[in-house]
Every structure is written in C-alpha cells, then in structure tokens.
Structure 1
Amino acid sequence: MNTRDLAYYVQLVELGNFTRVADQFGVTQPTITLAIKRLEDEFGVTLIHRDQSHAALTVTAAGQQLYRHARTIGQELALAHTEIAHLKEEKIRFGLPPIIGNYYFPKIAGRLVAAGLTEHLLTQSGGSDTLLAMLQNGSIDIALLGSSGPLDVPGLAVTPLTDAPFSIVVPPKNLLANQAQVAVAALADQPFVVLNEGFVHDRALRWFTRTADIRPNIVYRSGDVGLVKQMIAQGVGIGFLTKMAVAPADDLVTLPISQAGQPRFVISVAHRADLVLSPMMQALKKILTTAQ
C-alpha cells in the first residue's frame, strides 16, 4: 500500500473535492481518482460515493473507518520523520518552562556541561501547557513540565520529580504580608497580577477561585515570570505563584493558602512513551531525574 494514497484520501474526506486535493498536492485529478481506486481494491469496499461530475461526495461507513486509521497513520509517519531528523542532527529539543528553569536549572547546569550535553540542547521556553502540546506533536523531544497535581497524559512517559504548594504573593508592605495564611474567598476585591494562559498557574488559579466562589480581579497578565514578580513588588496587584517561583532576592512574601484539598505544583520530566531515547537523551533524563 502506498502511504501517499492514504494522504490523498484523508484530504479528500476533509476537503470533499477531487480538484482541491489535486491542487494541494500538485498532481492531476486522475492521480487522486486512481489512488482512491487502489484503496478500494485493497480493502474490497466502496469508500466514497460520488456523482459523475465529482461535485458531491458521500463517505461510506467503511470509508469513515479507513479515514480514522489513515489520519493516525499520517500523524505517526510525520512524527517518525521529525524524530528521526532530530536523531540525525544529534540535537535534543528540550522544553523548559521559565519557573522550572529558574528553580531547577542551576542544580543541573554543571552536570550538563560535564556530560557535554549543553551544545546539543535546543531549549524551548514556554508555559507547561504549551510545551505539553509541543511534546505531543513532536516539536520537542523531552521536557520538564509543571502540573497542578500528578501529570497523567496518555502516550507520555512521566517521571515526577518534586512538588511545591501554590501561594499568594505580596510585597512586604502589603497589609496581607503579616498573615500566617490567607483564604482565597477573602481576596475577591484584590487586584491580581498573574501569568498568561498556557501556564499551569492559570488553571490552578481557576481551581482556587472556583472553589472559593469568587471571580478574581485580574488587572495584568504576562508570560514573563520576572515581570509579574516586579509588578507585584511595585504594588500593582497581588500574585498567585508556586512557592518555588519566589527567591529571597525577589523581596516578596509568599502566603500559604488555607483551602483544603488544594492542588500542588508538580514538576515532572516527560517524553513520548514510544520515543526511542538516544544515548544523549538517556543521559539528559538521568541528570534530570537525579537532580534532587
């Protein structure tokens, strides 16, 4: 079976027009017609009902079944091309969220240099949700990811490393700074400075505010953790960050949150479960999982 025939077929089902598919692949319309005929002969069924002008298409039940499998095959082939290309380049596409990078990277930088891995790392920064999607589609090979609780994603091999609580973050002069802990329900009128969507913090904050039955007054969002902390320090608003995101040099106060059953910020190392790790990737994973 020609995998190109499957690619033609997937596009025909999605576009519903022989001419458009031919134009997309830069081939003639009879090429698409012959490809569909080969697939119908292969499976011994009619895949598509079409009128003489090919203006209207109806996909049969068998055709729908083949479409689902053909899409998966196409995605897996594309992923295989990407992974093999990465191996040939002797590069590791490494996902590293900024908060985790600031907390974790100083612990492993020396070992990465000693292992000769730094020159092979192509680091991609971003929120954990964004990096997770990139990991799944093959844009990156391995990543440190944050999650609001244990990370359990089908198709991924995940090794949890450490965890920390989420906190309300305020400057020392804020009236909340001297409290032993804070209830989110009491913060309905407070302005918040928070991280963008695509960060685990956004999803965790929604859990806290939904559970407390408040709508947070978010006055500013940013994907730059350093900027968020600076704006908190300047009194623009209070923050919501994992405790490990705040260093002593930030001169900020982290306040425990009193809600019961709350999620924690979990750091894990993850890669696709079916990815064959190169020796370099194995070395990187070993360093990441033994950094405690």
Structure 2
Amino acid sequence: MERRQLEYFVAIVEHGGFTHAARALHVAQPSLSRAITKLEQELGVELFHRVGRNVVLSSAGEVLADRARLVLRDLDAMHAAARSIGEGVVGRVDVAATSSSALEPVTSIIAELHDHHPGVVVSTSAALAAAEVIAMVVQGRCEVGVCGNAERPTGRGLVAHHLRDEEFLLVVPPGGIPGAGTTVTPDQLRGMRFVVMQPATAVRALFDRLAATVGDMTIAAEVGDRSVVLPMVLKGIGAGLMPDGWAGLAQRAGADVYRFSPPERLPQWLVYRRGQLTAATQAFIDTTLARAR
C-alpha cells in the first residue's frame, strides 16, 4: 500500500466522487481509477459501489476512510518530526472550531503561536456546533478542536481539556435598554425581538431555554451565519445573544452590551486524539493550555 493510494481514496471521499477528486488532485481520472482498483485488489474488498456515474462508499470503505485519514496524519507527523530537528517547530495544524471559539480563543492562540513558532501554519475549519467539531477530530479531518459544550466531550481515543467558561451576553441596537445598568435579568427580555441562530447551536439552545422560561420573546430573524447577527442587531432588526468573544467588536461597532444576572456560561474545551502528534499540533496544544492556565 502506498501513501498516494490513501491520498487518492480520501480525496474521493472528501470530494464526493472520482471526477471532482481528480480535478482537485490535478491528476487524470483514469490514473485515479487504476490506483483505487489496485488498492481494492490489495485489500481484497470493494471500497465503493459504482452506481451509474456516481460512487457510494461500501461498508468496508466507511471503515477505511477514518483509518486512512489517521494514517496520513501519522505520516505527516513523522515527516514534521524529522524536519523539526534542523528547522525548529514547523508544519501545519488543522483546527476545527465553532465560530465563537474561532474568534476567541483561537485567534489569540494563533497570534501567540506565531510569535514563538513562526514556522507553524494554522488552518481553521468552521463548524456549526460542538458535535461537528468533535466528529471532525475523531474522524481525523482535523487534529485539534475548540468548542463550547455543556459536558466534557468524549469519543474514540479523545482527550479533552477545559479551557475556560465562555460567557453569553445580550447585544442590543444603539440606545440600549432604558433604565438598565450593565447587567440584565432574564425577565427584562420579555417583549423583545431577537436575531437568532438556527437550531443545534449553543446560542440557539440558550435562546430557546430563556424563551421557554420568560415567554414573549419573538424571533425577528433566523440566520445560519453568526457573522450577520451583529449587522442585523445594528440595523435594529432585533437583539442578539453572543459569546463574550464578540463583546469588543460589538461595542466598537456601536451596539450596547449587557451581561446576564446571574451569568449565563458554557464550558469551552480543547479536544484532540490520543497518539502520535505532529510538532506543530503539539505546539498549538501547549500554547492553548498555557493560555488557559
């Protein structure tokens, strides 16, 4: 078995077929097909079911997909370890993060990592919810994940470190809430309109819980991209619930920001798989844990 065969196989899985994978890899499709056929012969199993011009992963292919990603990660780790002997810590680390975690702490981690290890490149992959972050790490699509989750994340060989408790804030259009100080109670949300995220996100779960408790909280707009919540708030469409990483940006943009009393918090986690890590991944983890301490 050759590395090239595994790279071709993973590319077909990731891109949804031979044609798109060949285009992404800049190889001829017949060469790609021959490599996969040879791999299937060596393994003695069929990795794809051919359905017309499309392909669907077989049960054996589903098992191999995660393993192939991990093998490629291990090979990258060996290569990076050899390079680091002469060049210091170098390489790339793929990080999965929800949008709030990508803003903070991931942005600060990258800045600090760049100061100490300029040879490390961080590539971030966006996830809608913590479950997606965890799946990306377990499947080997990313080496590290950062997300907010009420419970300690678990999975096959997964390591999880608590980083901090992320605090949720109320962000409202300029002019604020008459008579409010720096904090608000849930009862003060009654009668307000909100710009909310789609279901399955931590922020939406908070809104649904508050709405069920307080009552008379109206959804003015539901969005799939967290980055448009603040512009909608500033346009006066409604208030928004945001993680504390957005506080500075919201205030500089002119919105009014309030903390909840009592505070609304969610544990934030660093997750990665047990086993061989690249020097770049280890540097990211060490930097993250040092900041948390």
Q: TM-score, normalised by structure 2?
A: 0.64
Q: 2:65 aligns with which of 75, 78, 83?
A: 78
- Verify the 8 A CA contact 1:117 1:284 in the aligned structure 2: no
Query: Which residue of the partner structure matches residue 254 of structure 2?
Result: 251
Equivalent pairs counted in the alignment come to 229
Query: Which residue of the partner structure matches residue 182 of structure 1?
Result: 184
Q: Which has the higher strand share?
A: 2
**2: CA distance, partners of 1:291 / 1:194:** 31
Shift of 1:283: 1.3
SS state of the match for residue 162, structure 1?
strand
Please give the per-residue CA displacement for 1:79-100, whole angstroms capped at 9, x wherever unaligned.
2210222343454221133322
The residue type paired with residue 183 of structure 2 is Q
**1: CA distance, partners of 2:244 / 2:179:** 15
The residue type paired with residue 250 of structure 1 is A
* Cα 1:177–1:198 shift into 2, 3 Å: farther
Query: Which residue of the partner structure matches residue 167 of structure 2?
Result: 165
Shift of 1:239: 0.7
- For structure 2, the residue ranges without an aligned partner over 5 or more in a row are 1-40, 52-58, 77-90
**2: CA distance, partners of 1:177 / 1:144:** 37
- Verify the 8 A CA contact 2:192 2:218 in the aligned structure 1: yes
- Verify the 8 A CA contact 1:161 1:268 in the aligned structure 2: yes
The residue type paired with residue 79 of structure 1 is D
The residue type paired with residue 148 of structure 2 is G
Q: How does 1:1-292 map to 2 (within 5 A)?
A: 77-89=64-76, 91-113=92-114, 114-119=116-121, 121-129=122-130, 130-147=132-149, 149-155=150-156, 156-176=158-178, 178-210=180-212, 212=213, 214=215, 216-247=217-248, 248-258=251-261, 264-272=265-273, 274-292=274-292
- Verify the 8 A CA contact 2:148 2:166 in the aligned structure 1: no
SS state of the match for residue 286, structure 1?
helix
Shift of 1:255: 2.2
Structure exhibiting the larger radius of gyration computed from Cα positions: 1
* Cα 1:291–1:84 shift into 2, 3 Å: same
SS state of the match for residue 139, structure 1?
coil
Shift of 1:143: 1.3
* Cα 1:111–1:243 shift into 2, 3 Å: closer
The residue type paired with residue 178 of structure 1 is A
Query: Which residue of the partner structure matches residue 16 of structure 1?
Result: none
- Verify the 8 A CA contact 1:180 1:256 in the aligned structure 2: yes
After the TM superposition, which segments of 4 or more aligned residues of structure 1 sit over 6 Å from their partners? none
- For structure 1, the residue ranges without an aligned partner over 5 or more in a row are 12-20, 25-70
What is the RMSD computed on CA atoms of the aligned residues? 3.4
**2: CA distance, partners of 1:168 / 1:103:** 17
**2: CA distance, partners of 1:286 / 1:78:** 29
**2: CA distance, partners of 1:3 / 1:246:** 55
**2: CA distance, partners of 1:132 / 1:282:** 18
- Verify the 8 A CA contact 2:148 2:202 in the aligned structure 1: yes
Q: TM-score, normalised by structure 1?
A: 0.64
